[in-house]
Each structure stands twice: as structure tokens, then as C-alpha cells.
Amino acid sequence: MSVNLKKLAEMLGLSQTTVSRALNGYPEVNAETRQRVLSAVRETGYRPNRAAQRLATGRAGSIGLVMPIAQGIDSDVHFGEFLAGLGEEAVRHDFHFVLNPSAPEDEEQTFKRLAASGNVDALFLAYVRANDPRIAMLKSLSIPFVVHGRTIDQATDYPFLDIDNTGAFYEATRLLIQLGHRRIGLINGHGHLTFAIRRKKGMVRALDENGLAFDEALSHNSLMTDEYGYRAMERFLANPEPPTAVLCSSTVMALGAVRAINRANLTIGKDISIIAHDDVLPMLKPENFMVPLTTTRSSLRAAGARVASRLISRISQPSDAVEQELWRTELIVRASTGPAPGRK
Amino acid sequence: MSVNLKKLAEMLGLSQTTVSRALNGYPEVNAETRQRVLSAVRETGYRPNRAAQRLATGRAGSIGLVMPIAQGIDSDVHFGEFLAGLGEEAVRHDFHFVLNPSAPEDEEQTFKRLAASGNVDALFLAYVRANDPRIAMLKSLSIPFVVHGRTIDQATDYPFLDIDNTGAFYEATRLLIQLGHRRIGLINGHGHLTFAIRRKKGMVRALDENGLAFDEALSHNSLMTDEYGYRAMERFLANPEPPTAVLCSSTVMALGAVRAINRANLTIGKDISIIAHDDVLPMLKPENFMVPLTTTRSSLRAAGARVASRLISRISQPSDAVEQELWRTELIVRASTGPAPGRK
DNA sequence: CGCACAATTCAAAGCGCTTTGAAACGGTAA
DNA sequence: TTACCGTTTCAAAGCGCTTTGAATTGTGCG
């Protein structure tokens, strides 16, 4: 059995109160006493029991997140990358996560349970859908939270961090149109997720402004993996009027799309242009593609770190301010975009 | 403020004891009483406070893991995939994780803290090194743990789950040799990690048996990303005597290697053969490569699920049995391997 | 010399739950 | 009737910590 406060106090001939205060940096403790306590801690390897601490203070030093997972559901690299960002920041404040795996259909329940459990000080929500009931629920929970992304049809009167998805794909599409492209495909994430909806919106807007129509036959929605990227592109290329350019919602999907293009013996940047959204995944850099990829960029990891930081500061100094951030993305032109074929 | 046991008991005109027992399925509670309690719980939305529960029982319902992360350290897809496996299993038992981010150099400390905190019932260790001090530490901690991987120079008298890395790369190398390859490169993970060491060992053994020598100039160790795969392959190809075949420790690295090969205008499976270890990452399937990849396969996610399952059963029924599992890998031949050039 | 006051320290209550040991109750055997 | 028993319920202790309110000591000053 390891040492606890009581024993430690006995050993030192002090009361638990004093020892506790010495450890938690209260000013009313004699400097010398504090030193004695600290060195005793070092000798015995004493660590406060977090559960007890939590019960006593009500604070947990942890951030709760729901991890969407179930048998048969593929893991998402993007989730991992975001987590890395959260972690990077949390480690600096000695916070940890309570990762609650949950089947997607139980998520709402899981959130409730997590909040009520007293296990976490704050919650974090991702994979936002257009009209997401989980947000109303979070608001009712009286525990700080930050949403990554934001709803569409609903009032956005809650703290969030989102990137300007509409703007990103608007700019990207505009660039393609300027380059003379008229038929542009879209390989997107799941259609019920708001980032996907907004990206499409941005694209549609740019098309509209130029008198072009969005062609549903050149549109794909799915989990963002290499494989779906490949299949989507393959399908596009089989179209009687194949696109001369394609927008991809992730470099992971772009990977598959590129493969399909190569297999069709087309040249990227010449026969067909491609722009992908780059979440800055370390394992897959756009500049390292055979033909370096033009991208709209925004670091997912940085977003994670920022969310963690906001959550943590919100915990230490509760406030009702509804912080909202909308990050711009960068449009970085590399070799995968070029003038539409038969033009120049 | 939400309902707690005391209030609930008052409302029902029962003692806390009875309510608690009713909820935890003790037999000595009148069936009717139990029903009353359960419906009251439903109405009030009562959730037991986990911290209190934990303090009282000493059990936490959670698995602790240390997430190696820090600013400037890239996240690892493989970690995410393993986590997905852990999650898949944990969700079925209503367990959750305490994810403690930690800078790699603090990991030992973090483990200690985690164990002492009372926050977790079990620990999990990955990224094992040849002679890993963390294992001795875990053993001294008197908390169940499972290691993913296993040490090399140390006695392996602790519970682990590992795959037969040596065997995997031994077989793979043998296949290449049978196909006539004499110069084989190795693109591996970090050199201090045991899986990398063992894979190299397997390769060396097969070479040895055929009178071939391992050439350090055709060997690369690093984090397993696309980019390093590319650079390594590029370097190999610049060698005065480039390899005719290459072994990759991950499909992610293979991705880069393939790119380098393409860029050099060589044909995979003809000019150069490639075999990669496949962790079954959903975002990157070997059969979807331009030239489908021959692989040694073992699902990282399945390993995660298995580790979780063992950890959980170990928690519910403590035992001293030291379970050890060594999973065989499958060698799956696809189009990326062919006879050595100038032979056949 | 005695009192007010700051500096330290302490005992005890309380956080919300589980669990031990005892009590209450009706029924049954003696 | 009394003793005994199984069933069901309860009061109270305790998990390890924080925090409140009081006690103790030392100091400066009138």
C-alpha cells in the first residue's frame, strides 16, 4: 500500500491540513515546514489520490471526449491527429483525457454519462452535424465545452472553433475556374457533417458566380480514406464528360484520387488538376506527392491544441463569454493545378 | 445540482444502503423495492458520481495509457489505430481510458503518477525498447498491465502481446531470395524499438542462411511516415549498387518508397520488388496501391482489442497468471514482388 | 505587563459512494 | 409462548482528500 496524506502527516508530526496546504501552495504555511513536507514527499513517493481529490474539490483535471468507435467502424486518422494536438497542450498543464469510446448512436447518452460522472471538467465535441442535438444537450449540462466545427441551421450561440470551410473551397474553386476549368468534381467527407456541407457550399458559390452548375454526378461523400478517394475518382473518370479538375476534402482521399488518375494514364496538373484540403497530417504531406499537391491548409493538430487550451483556461477561470473562432485557411499552390486542357 | 444517492434515498424513503444495493444488483433487495429504485433513477436521471464510487471501491473502470506526445513530435497513425482497437473492446464493457499525454522522456514518471493516482485499474505499455526500464517499474506497481511488444535482452516474465516480427521478416526475406534477389533494402521503424530490431533480425537470419550479408547502406530507421519512406528509397536508389528489393516496416513508409520508385521510372514488381508490413490501417490498404503490395499482415486494431480484453478480464478477476501471446503474421503475396531483374 | 494581531497550525466536517454489522420483521419449529 | 431463521432494511464507518473555523504561538506596542 502506498503512502497517503494521513500517514505522511503522522510521519512529519503535522496535521493533514498543513501538509495538504503545503502541497497546494497555500501562503499560510511556514517556508521551512513546506520544505520538510516537500522532501518527505520526495522520499516516500507520495502521490495524492486523484479520486479523493476530485471528490473533495469537484475538479478533475481532465477533459472528456467521446471517441466514436464500434466494431466495424473504421478509425479515422483525422481523429488521431486532432487528439495529438489536444495532448500536446494538455501535457503542459498536467491535464489528461477521459476517452470514452462509444458507438455513434449512443453518443448523446455517453456525453450525459460522462458529464454526470464527475470524471471530467470539460467536454469536447467534434464531427458536428448540420442540426446537432448534442449541442443543446451540452448547453444544458453546465460544464464547459468547446465544439470543433459549428452547426448550420441552428443558432451558433456556443463556444466553438471552426475553420472557414466555405471560404477555403470557394477560393479553391475560383482558382480552378480562373484556370479555365468548367467541370469540377468534389470528393468530400460524409454528407451530414457540417465541414463537408460548407465545403460544398463554398464550391457551389464560386460556380454560381461564374454561371456554372454543380454536377451531382461529379460529387462523392464518404469516410475520408484512400480507398474511397480512389473509387470516387474512378467513377468520375468513367463519366462521359469527365472533370478536368477535382477538389478533395482530405489529402488521404487525394492519395486515392491520384492513384486513379495515374492508372488512367492522365497527367496531374495537365490533364486534370487537383486541390485537396490539407489537415497537415505528418504522415502524408502534400509537397511529397509525386506531383506536389495544391492545397487549402489548416492544421488539425493546431486546432486540437487550441481547443485544449481554451478548455483548460475555461476550467480554471469559469466565464460565460462565448468564445468563437473561425480560422482562415491558406490556399497553397503547388504543381497539381494547371490550366484546363485545351486552353492556355 | 444533480441528484445524489442521499437525496434519492430520501425521496424514496429508503436508506442509502438499500438504494446502493438495488443499483448494484445485490440479491438481498426486495424485487419490488428494486423496481421502485430503478424507476426513480430513470425519472431523476441520477448518475452515481464516479469519483466517489472509485474512492469507495478502489476500482475505477478505466485503463490508463500514456500517450507519447510533445510539441514537435509527430503523431503516429499506428497509435491511433491501436487505440481504435482498445476502444472497440472497452466500449463493450463500459470501460474508458485515461489518456495521459507525456513527453517521451517523462514517460516513466507519468506511469508512476498514473498508477498512484487511483485513476486507473490497469496500465498498458507500448513502444517497447530493447531493454526497457519501464517494465521493471510496471512490475513493481502492483496494478495489472499488458505490454504490447516485448523486450529483448530482458527476461520476458510479464504479460505481453506481440507479433512474430522476426518470423514475419524472415519469411518475407526468404521469399525475396527465392525470387532471386540478392540485394535487399530495409526501411524500418526507429532502431531502438524492439519490433524494428526483431524485423531486422528476421531479415538477417534469412540472408545468413543463404550466404548473403546485410548491407547497412541499404538500411534505414526512422519514424514511420510517408516522407521518410520516400527519402530512404531515394537514397537506396542512388547507391552504386541499388537494391532489387525492399522491405518496409509499414504501408505508410511503403507509400513513400513507391513514390520514389515511380519517380525513378522503375517498375514495381519487375525492376524492384517491395514487401511491406501491413498493420491493416483502414486508410491505406495494400491491395489499393497502384501495384498491389505484397505484405506481412497483422491487424493492429485486433491487437488493441485483444489487449483491452485481457486487461479488462484481469481487472475483474485478478490473477497472477502471466499470459503471453505471440501472433503469427500472414505473408500475402500480391503484385509488388517478382523475380529479380535479369533472371527468370 | 497585558492585549491586539499576524503567522501558523490544528481538529473536524464533508465530498458521495460502498460495505460492515446490526436491527426489524414475519414466519416456523419446538 | 419462545427461540430461531431467512429476508429485508438500516445506521454508521470509512475511502483520502480539501476546507472551514478555531486554537496556538510569537510579536509589537501602549
What would the grid cell of residue B262 be?
A: 515511380
Q: What is the pLDDT of residue A95?
A: 81
* Among B99, B102, B283, beta carbon nearest to A77: B283
Residue B243 DSSP label: -
CA dist., res. A164 & res. A202, Å (int): 10
- Checking if the pLDDT of B172 tops 90, the result is yes
Q: Which three cell numbers stand for residue B278?
A: 501491413
Q: Quick one: A281 and A213 in the same domain?
A: yes
Asked if residue B197 belongs to a domain, the reply is yes
What is the per-residue pLDDT across A74-99, written as a single tens digit (0 to 9) for each? 778 888 889 888 888 887 777 888 88
Percentage of chain B exceeding pLDDT 70 = 98
- The Cα–Cα gap between B221 and B232 comes to 9
Our measurement of CA B16 to C1' D13, in angstroms, reads: 14
Using an 8 Å Cβ cutoff, are A243 and A272 in contact?
Answer: yes
Q: What is the mean pLDDT of chain B?
A: 90
User: Between β-strands B273-278 and B160-163, what pairing exists: parallel, antiparallel or unpaired?
Assistant: unpaired
Q: The CATH number of the domain where B27 resides is what?
A: 1.10.260.40
Split at pLDDT 50, 70, 90, the class of B344 is very low
A45 backbone φψ class: left, alpha, beta (φ>0; ψ -120 to 50): left
Asked if residues A324 and A149 have their Cβ atoms less than 8 Å apart, the reply is no
Does residue B306 share a domain with residue B159?
Answer: yes
In Å, what is the separation between the CA of A57 and the C1' of D18? Answer: 6
Query: What is the side-by-side order of every strand in the sheet holding A184-188?
Result: A219-221, A184-188, A245-248, A273-278, A294-297, A330-332
3-state secondary structure B113-129: HHHHCCCCCEEEECCCE
CA angle, residues B324, B327, B333, in degrees to nearest 5 = 170
Per-residue pLDDT tens over the stretch B196-214: 999 999 999 999 999 999 9
Tell me the mean pLDDT in the region A103-130.
82
Residue nearest to nucleotide C18 (CA to C1'): B56
H helices present in chain A, as ranges: 5-12, 16-23, 31-44, 50-57, 77-90, 107-116, 133-140, 165-178, 194-209, 226-238, 251-263, 300-316
Write the pLDDT tens digit of every residue in A44-61. Answer: 888 888 888 888 888 777
Same domain, B317 and B268: no
Per the domain annotation, does B212 fall within a domain?
Answer: yes
Q: Which band of pLDDT confidence, cut at 50, 70 and 90, is reported for residue A72?
A: low
For residue range B14-45, list pLDDT tens digits in order.
Answer: 889 999 998 888 888 888 889 989 888 888 88
The tally of domains found in chain A comes to: 3
Residue A114 covered by a domain: yes
Domain-located, residue B311: yes
Do A205 and A141 fall into the same domain? no
Largest Cα separation within chain A, whole Å, is: 89
Over 90: is that where the pLDDT of A271 sits? yes
Q: Is the dihedral of CA B180, B182, B183, B188 positive or negative?
A: positive
Whether residues A231 and A204 share a domain: the answer is yes
Looking at the structure, tell me whether residues B176 and B294 fall in a common domain: yes
Specify if B56 maps to a domain. Answer: no
- Specify whether A213 is located in the same domain as A263: yes
In a domain, B54, yes or no: no
Q: Binning pLDDT at 50, 70 and 90, where does residue B111 land?
A: confident
- Verify if strand D has an atom below 7 Å from the CB of A44: no
> What value does the mean pLDDT take over residues A309-334?
89
Residues A185 and A270 placed together within one structural domain of the fold? yes
CB contact under 8 A, B252 and A87: no
pLDDT at B213: 96
> Which of A3, A42, A75 is the best mutation test for B, with the most CBs of B within 10 A?
A75
Most confident of A313-327, B58-72, B264-278: B264-278
Q: How many CA atoms lie within 13 A of B196 on its CB side?
A: 20
pLDDT at A189 over 90: yes
Contact between B215 and B242 (Cβ < 8 Å): no
**Judgement on whether residues A69 and A159 belong to the same structural domain of the protein:** yes
- Residue B181 sits in a domain whose CATH number is 3.40.50.2300
* A176 touches A218 (CB < 8 A): no
C-alpha cell at B198: 526483431
A179 and A293, same structural domain?
yes
| In a domain? residue A72 | yes
| Positions of strand D less than 7 angstroms from a protein CB | 7-21
Q: Which residue is nearest to nucleotide D18 (CA to C1')?
A: A56
A171 falls in which pLDDT band (50, 70, 90)? Answer: very high
Q: How far is CA A233 from the centre of its chain?
A: 26
Q: How far apart (Å, rounded) are the C-alpha atoms in residues A16 and A14?
A: 7
Same domain, A141 and A80: yes
How far is Cα B293 from Cα B252, in angstroms, rounded to an integer? Answer: 12
- Region A295-313: mean pLDDT is 94
Q: Per the domain annotation, does A336 fall within a domain?
A: no
Cell (9 digits) for B110: 507519468
User: Quick one: cell of A157?
Assistant: 450561440
Is B20 found in the same domain as B108?
no
Domain extent for B199: 165-298
Interface with B, mutate which of A4, A255, A283 (most B CBs under 10 A):
A283
